[in-house]
């Protein structure tokens, strides 16, 4: 009789050990996690899924009041509300992906400590369930967009909007990659999870979510925007959605490379961690 | 030809003791520095064996050390050991929850674990939704769960609540539902850890029955960990005894249980320093015929004494009495004491235990010291001891009823 082993559990770790077949076997689990994340967030609330819509709207109204009405920041001819809403909706997707995946190991240690399934299913499910939220929020953006178009605003739909899905994928890769790196590091030293909150807030301001690039162009912080892939992502999304904003070939290449690099690094680090993180968490 | 489905080779697992903080960063840096120069991890050499009770010098301990064994297809392997012997660590490595420090495990089938059921339940979701989620976590596909959904709900006995969020369930119902999901798993190798200690008596019976179906009826390979020797004896065909992270014995299940019970420190001496103006029980211990203290399991044929040292400050109207309790806390035999023998100061009293009349199992000693108005000292588990069952019936693996064994013999006459 031949000794054909199905698989081996060993101490040695391969650098890249991404078992796509196994992840495919657990696709039902992935979908169930997505379903769980989507339906349980607003259980026992009166407004239910409406909160998905209300949250970004409130944020946008506040930003518009503070930055545009009070601080009087010029948005370059685009209605400030639409300018902010486009930024907020895109930023939210990235932020939720990042913060959601960043505590994968910490939040799920009870389940991870008892049962084995490919750990990467968890962050993937977060990215997917956020995609559903993002879709709903995008629909709201489109509604307001049409409203402003009919009001005779200067924004016009353009063909570049076809590139929008690429931008979404880039955001997902960035959020997922960074989140996986952070979640892996948090398993041993928890300091990082405290820094994450501040970091995300700071990153929002230099990612042009509410502020136009012109504000940064002539002061010492221009580098923080120039080397920030999220600034490009937000600016691109505004460009394809509203037809305004600065773009450059360098920005496109830089952002794509950065996203791919971060994602690959995240996969590597996550892979290395998932095997025995349960001993150190 | 033996069909080996699972092969464990030299598995070891090292754990770091203490907390993780600023101190551990230096070790991590040192380890990284060794690795960068292509050298061996310096901390792998220094671990100590995992004896929980003694304080060690090293910051590292081996929870498992060089574990090797093989499991044949269709075999039910019992893994026996004291708390902290490494049973759960071994099961965790087998079910891929954590990796081994060294060594290798090869398997020909899918392994699914049934470690502490109910993890992964989401309180806001209904019972049915959680059945799907939990099933998927354990490795079932949606179609598989769908085909067994009716059976699972039926087995759990939670039909009425199946569309209610799990947060409204009683804890017993949660466990029932969780076990029901797990019981319908169909992996090649099933890993089970202490799940039988859940639910009410009716459900426990159901759960054990299901376990027997899985192992005996379906011919599935099962690795089973439990402190319940009766359940191990019932379910398993072969056993492995773990002591301080090493395999001390492997063989058929009866010899394993014997080995385990003989080597277990079955008795712990009770020792107390009380106040000198009160009456109290100072020491409780067990001795053999020669007066030497006994800490191992007891053969029924041995002459064993139960010893008490009492400190009596005021002997007026003081009573003393002791009772043997079963491991289920049922009183079995009273050991009354005549108080006219009590004097002040330390008193040593001993009584021959009726070992030949006790069936195999663990017994607890309850004792009390009191006068008419006041209880000075009372405990229902001063010490416990283990009797090794050696009647013909017990040896055959069956359970005998009652606690006492008559020393009368049947008279046989051919008619």
Each of the 415 residues of chain B gets a pLDDT tens digit; together they read 678 888 888 888 888 776 666 666 777 777 777 777 777 666 666 655 655 555 555 667 788 888 899 888 888 888 888 777 888 888 888 888 888 888 888 888 888 777 666 667 888 888 999 899 888 888 888 898 999 999 999 988 888 889 998 889 887 788 888 888 887 887 888 887 765 555 666 777 777 777 777 777 777 888 888 766 667 777 788 889 888 888 888 888 888 877 776 666 545 566 666 667 778 888 888 888 888 887 777 888 888 999 988 888 888 888 888 999 887 778 889 988 887 777 788 888 889 999 888 888 888 888 888 887 788 888 777 888 888 877 777 766 667 788 888 888 888 888 8
Instruction: List, for residues A85-105, the tens digit of each pLDDT value.
Output: 988 999 999 999 999 998 888
CA–CA separation, B163 and B159 (whole Å): 8
Tallying the residues shown for chain B, one arrives at 415
Between strands B361-370 and B319-326, the pairing is antiparallel
Task: Sort residue B18 into left (φ over 0), alpha (ψ -120 to 50) or beta.
Answer: left
Is A181's pLDDT higher than 70? yes
This model of the complex carries an ipTM of 0.81
Does this model's pTM top 0.80? My answer is no
CB B352 within 8 A of CB B304: yes
Residues of chain B with Cβ-Cβ distance to A31 below 8 Å are: 142
CB A72 within 8 A of CB A43: no
CB A276 within 8 A of CB B99: yes
Nearest to B93 among A3, A6, A9 (CB): A9
Q: Cβ separation of A32 and B120 shorter than 8 Å?
A: no
CB A132 within 8 A of CB A38: yes
- Name B156's Cβ contacts closer than 8 Å, sequence gap at least 6: B173, B176, B177, B179, B180
Return the number of other C-beta atoms located less than 10 Å from residue A9's C-beta: 20
How many interface pairs between A and B have CB atoms less than 8 angstroms apart?
110
Among A14-23, A198-207, B30-39, B337-346, the range of highest mean pLDDT: A198-207
Q: Is A181 helix (H, G, I), strand (E, B) or coil?
A: helix
- Name B284's Cβ contacts closer than 8 Å, sequence gap at least 6: B269, B270, B306, B307, B308, B309, B365, B367, B382, B383
Nearest to A117 among B107, B122, B139 (CB): B139
Q: How far is CA A230 from CA A137, A157, A178, A263, in A?
A: 19, 23, 12, 14
Provide the sign of the torsion angle of the four alpha carbons A104, A106, A107, A109, taken in this order.
positive
What proportions of chain A, in percent to the nearest 5, are helix, strand and coil?
70, 0, 30
Q: Is B211 helix (H, G, I), strand (E, B) or coil?
A: helix
CB A115 within 8 A of CB B113: yes
Q: Cβ separation of A114 and B115 shorter than 8 Å?
A: yes
Q: Is A193 helix (H, G, I), strand (E, B) or coil?
A: helix
Selected for mutation to probe chain A from B7, B97, B104 (highest A CB count within 10 Å) is: B97
Domain spanning B70-263, CATH architecture: 3-Layer(aba) Sandwich (3.40)
At B117 the pLDDT is 60
CA–CA separation, B228 and B192 (whole Å): 13
Establish if B104 touches chain A: CB-CB under 8 angstroms: yes
CA–CA separation, A247 and A210 (whole Å): 17
Helix ranges, A67-190 (H): 80-102, 104-107, 109-112, 121-150, 164-186
CA–CA separation, B4 and B174 (whole Å): 36
At B188 the pLDDT is 82
H/E element, B202? helix B201-212
At A263 the pLDDT is 93
Q: Where in chain B are the domains?
A: 70-263, 270-395
Q: List the structure tokens of A151.
A: 């009001």
Give the bridge partners for B348, in sequence order: B309
At A1 the pLDDT is 44
Instruction: List, for residues B315-346, the tens digit of each pLDDT value.
Output: 888 888 899 988 777 888 998 888 777 778 88
CA–CA separation, B364 and B323 (whole Å): 8
Distance of CA A18 to the CA centre of its chain: 22
CA-nearest residue to A272 within chain B is: B99
What proportions of chain B, in percent to the nearest 5, are helix, strand and coil?
30, 35, 40
Establish if B349 touches chain A: CB-CB under 8 angstroms: no
Is A83's pLDDT higher than 70? yes
Q: Is A198 helix (H, G, I), strand (E, B) or coil?
A: helix
At A255 the pLDDT is 92
Residues of chain A with Cβ-Cβ distance to B40 below 8 Å are: none
At B53 the pLDDT is 56
CA of A279 to nearest chain B CA: how many angstroms apart? 7
b/e code B50-63 from CB counts within 10 Å (16+ = b): beeeeeeeebbbbb
Tallying the residues shown for chain A, one arrives at 281
Q: Is B323 helix (H, G, I), strand (E, B) or coil?
A: strand
CA–CA separation, B126 and B243 (whole Å): 43
**Closest alpha carbon to A227 in A245, A250, A243, A210:** A250
- Name A138's Cβ contacts closer than 8 Å, sequence gap at least 6: A89
Q: Cβ separation of A11 and B116 shorter than 8 Å?
A: no
Those residues of chain A whose CB sits closer than 8 Å to some CB in chain B are: 1, 3-11, 13, 25-26, 28-29, 31-33, 36, 39-40, 43-44, 110-117, 188-189, 275-276, 278-280
Which is more confidently placed, A83 or B266? A83
H/E element, B332? strand B331-336
CA–CA separation, B103 and B108 (whole Å): 17
CB A241 within 8 A of CB A145: yes
CA atoms within 13 A on the CB side of B32: 6
Q: Cβ separation of A112 and B97 shorter than 8 Å?
A: yes
Is A120's pLDDT higher than 70? yes
Which is more confidently placed, B342 or A55? A55
Selected for mutation to probe chain B from A28, A109, A188, A278 (highest B CB count within 10 Å) is: A28
CA–CA separation, A231 and A226 (whole Å): 8
**Average model confidence (pLDDT) across chain A:** 84
**pLDDT band at residue A260 under the 50/70/90 scheme:** very high
- Name B136's Cβ contacts closer than 8 Å, sequence gap at least 6: A26, A28, A29, A32, B142, B145
**A71-85, A190-204, B184-198: least confidently modelled range:** B184-198
**Torsion angle, CA of A201/A207/A211/A214, rounded to 10 degrees?**
140
**Residues in B 155-184 with any Cβ partner in A closer than 8 A:** 165
Q: What is the CATH number of domain B270-395?
A: 2.70.50.60
Is A225's pLDDT higher than 80? yes
């Amino acid at each position: 009789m031949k000794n054909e082993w199905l698989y081996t559990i060993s101490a040695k770790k391969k650098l890249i050990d991404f078992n796509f077949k196994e992840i495919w076997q657990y696709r039902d689990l992935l979908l169930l996690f997505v379903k769980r994340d989507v339906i349980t967030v607003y259980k026992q609330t009166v407004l239910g899924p409406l909160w998905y819509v209300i949250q970004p709207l409130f944020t946008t109204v506040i930003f518009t009041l503070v930055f545009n009405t009070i601080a009087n920041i010029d948005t370059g001819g685009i209605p400030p509300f639409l300018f902010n809403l486009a930024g907020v909706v895109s930023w939210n997707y990235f932020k939720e992906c990042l913060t959601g995946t960043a505590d994968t190991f910490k939040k799920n240690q009870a389940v991870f400590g008892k049962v084995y399934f490919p750990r990467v299913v968890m962050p993937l499910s977060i990215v997917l369930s956020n995609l559903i939220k993002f879709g709903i929020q995008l629909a709201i953006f489109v509604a307001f967009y049409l409203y402003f178009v009919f009001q005779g605003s200067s924004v016009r739909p353009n063909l570049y909007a076809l590139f929008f899905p690429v931008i979404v994928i880039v955001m997902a890769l960035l959020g997922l990659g960074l989140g996986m790196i952070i979640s892996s590091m948090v398993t041993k030293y928890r300091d990082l999870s405290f820094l994450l909150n501040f970091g995300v807030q700071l990153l929002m301001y230099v990612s042009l979510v509410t502020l136009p690039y012109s504000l940064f162009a002539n002061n010492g912080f221009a580098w923080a925007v120039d080397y920030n892939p999220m600034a490009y992502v937000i600016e691109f999304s505004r460009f394809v959605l509203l037809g305004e904003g600065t773009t450059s070939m360098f920005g496109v290449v830089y952002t794509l490379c950065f996203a791919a690099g971060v994602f690959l690094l995240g996969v590597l680090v996550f892979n290395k961690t998932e095997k025995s993180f349960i001993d150190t968490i | 030809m033996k069909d080996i489905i699972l092969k464990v080779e030299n598995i070891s697992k090292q754990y770091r003791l203490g907390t993780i903080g600023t101190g551990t960063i230096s070790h991590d840096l040192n380890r990284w520095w060794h690795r960068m120069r292509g050298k061996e991890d310096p901390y792998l050499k220094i671990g100590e064996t995992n004896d929980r009770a003694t304080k060690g010098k090293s910051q590292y301990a081996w929870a498992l050390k060089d574990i090797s064994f093989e499991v044949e297809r269709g075999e039910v392997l019992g893994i026996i050991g004291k708390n902290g012997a490494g049973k759960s660590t071994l099961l965790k490595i087998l079910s891929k929850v954590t990796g081994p420090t060294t060594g290798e495990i090869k398997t020909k089938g899918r392994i699914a674990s049934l470690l502490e059921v109910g993890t992964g339940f989401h309180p806001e979701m209904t019972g049915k939704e959680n059945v799907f989620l939990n099933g998927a976590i354990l490795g079932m596909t949606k179609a598989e769960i769908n085909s067994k959904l009716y059976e699972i709900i039926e087995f759990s006995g939670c039909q009425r609540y199946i569309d209610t969020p799990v947060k409204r369930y009683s804890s017993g119902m949660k466990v029932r539902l969780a076990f029901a999901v797990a019981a319908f798993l169909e992996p090649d190798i099933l890993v089970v850890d202490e799940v039988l200690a859940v639910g009410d008596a009716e459900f426990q019976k159901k759960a054990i029955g299901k376990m027997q179906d899985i192992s005996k009826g379906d011919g599935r390979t099962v690795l089973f960990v439990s402190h319940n020797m009766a359940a191990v004896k019932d379910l398993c065909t072969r056993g492995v005894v773990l002591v301080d992270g090493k395999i001390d014995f492997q063989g058929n299940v009866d010899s394993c249980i014997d080995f385990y019970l003989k080597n277990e420190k079955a008795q712990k001496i009770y020792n107390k320093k009380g106040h000198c103006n009160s009456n109290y029980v100072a020491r409780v211990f067990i001795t053999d015929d020669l007066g030497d203290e006994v800490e191992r399991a007891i053969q029924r044929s041995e002459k064993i004494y139960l010893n008490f040292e009492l400190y009596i400050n005021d002997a007026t109207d003081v009573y003393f009495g002791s009772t043997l309790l079963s491991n289920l806390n049922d009183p079995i035999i009273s050991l009354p004491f005549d108080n006219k023998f009590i004097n002040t100061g330390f008193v040593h009293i001993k009584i021959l235990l009726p070992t030949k009349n006790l069936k195999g199992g663990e017994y607890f000693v309850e004792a009390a010291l009191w006068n008419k108005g006041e209880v000075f000292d009372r405990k229902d588990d001063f010490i416990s001891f283990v009797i090794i069952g050696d009647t013909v019936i017990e040896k055959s693996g069956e359970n005998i009823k009652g606690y006492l064994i008559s020393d009368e013999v049947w008279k046989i006459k051919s008619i």
